[in-house]
Amino acid sequence: MKIVEEYIDVQTTLLEIKSAKYIGDYAIRIFFNDGVSRLVDFKPFLESSLHPSIRKYFDEVKFNQFKIIDGNLNWNDHDLIFPIEDLYEGKI
């Protein structure tokens, strides 16, 4: 009896943010590596939070200082970060 195994080389692409642009009023247009873009409104999240480490980002200048690190939005060295899947769905 001859056993034959066939391997299929499946490469999965990890979802990453390629670029992001601050639109205003705590909304960011996010561009993903699969060509999809989403407009994410962070204002309801910031308004509903009572924690001072999150509320400080209600300062629009501070909020606009996000960076893309390892394919995700990041504020102040992981001080504020969101699951990329949620951002992809346009919700937080």
- Position 54 in a domain: yes
Say what the pLDDT of residue 11 is: 60
Looking at the predicted structure, is the pLDDT value of residue 3 above 80? no
CA max distance for the chain: 71
Domain that holds residue 77: 17-88
Q: Which of 54, 77, 14, 22 is nearest to 30 (CA)?
A: 22
Section 49-71 average pLDDT = 95
Say what the pLDDT of residue 2 is: 74
- Position 33 in a domain: yes
Residues 6 or more apart whose Cβ sits within 8 Å of residue 71: 14, 15, 16, 17, 33, 84
Predicted confidence band of residue 7 (pLDDT cuts 50, 70, 90)? low
Section 51-71 average pLDDT = 95
The share of the chain scoring above pLDDT 90, in percent, equals 80
- Position 4 in a domain: no
